[in-house]
Structure 1
Amino acid sequence: MAKTRPKHLDLPKIRLPIPGIVSILHRVSGALMFLAIPVVFWLLAGSLSSEAQFEAYRGFVSHPIIKLGLLVLLWAYLHHACAGIRFLLLDIHKGLELSTARATAKAVIVVSLALTAIIGGVLW
């Protein structure tokens, strides 16, 4: 008997469960932070080299688009850390039940967004 499999995946129609979304966002946040390393090092080196460079850095960082980018990096860091803790607990077989896994996935999203809003609000 031949299996009837779809010939293509209609990605917009596929609904991932919340733990799957957290897993994908964990990977995306890790990749985003990795790709931002050169920019962050450039900003750090420029801000520490001289007083004039620091003032140029402050002017660059005060632009709203750059602030938004740094806010996204802050979210990436916080989400990656929260999801990483969740995955470490899953690795030691804590929270494997479906209801617990869904609750911890929701908690990761809520906590990372809340911390981003709090820290971003203080720093903005």
Structure 2
Amino acid sequence: MKKQRPVNLDLQTVSFPLTAIASILHRISGVIMFFAVGILMWLLSESLSSPMGFANVQDILDSFAAKFIIWGTLTALAYHLVVGVRHIIMDMGYGEEFDSATKSAQLSMVISVILSVLAGVWLW
């Protein structure tokens, strides 16, 4: 029996709603934080190893690349936290309608951008 279902494999024609984009980015930010923990644990271990290790970590963290990685980690953490709170509120039964979910996704993205800018100001 052949099924006559439409198949659309061109992903450029698919437009995701903002709520789906927020959910996908929430998962991506979780993966970023998972890998960032390894870097942060290595920096902590190195800084606690000796006074020379602490000085080495200070030198590493003075570079632009390290500050950019730390900024990315803080941005992922802020986004993950804000959208995680949004998901928890929705799990409690509030804002599950499409309109209110879209507005809460917009608000969470705005708050995340503000926190990201503040993290950049704090680092640099």
Do they fold alike, i.e. is TM over 0.5? yes
TM-superposed CA distance for 1:13, in Å, is 2.2
TM-superposed CA distance for 1:79, in Å, is 0.5
- Give the structure 2 partner of residue 86 of structure 1: 86
- Give the structure 1 partner of residue 74 of structure 2: 74
Look up the equivalent residue of 2:77 and give its one-letter code. Y
**1:66-99 CA distances to partner (integer Å, 9 max, x unpaired)?**
2111111111100000011000011111011222
**1:26-83 CA distances to partner (integer Å, 9 max, x unpaired)?**
0000011112222110001112222211111111112212211111111110000001
Match runs of 1:1-124 below 5 Å: 2-6=3-7, 8-124=8-124
Q: List runs of 5+ in structure 1 lacking aligned partners.
A: none
Over 3 Å counting, the alpha-carbon distance change for 1:14 and 1:64 in structure 2 is same
Percent same amino acid at aligned positions? 33
How many residue pairs align between the two structures? Answer: 123
Look up the equivalent residue of 2:27 and give its one-letter code. R
Segments ≥4 residues shifted beyond 3 Å = none
TM-score using structure 1 length:
0.91
Cα RMSD for the two superposed structures: 1.5
Q: List runs of 5+ in structure 2 lacking aligned partners.
A: none
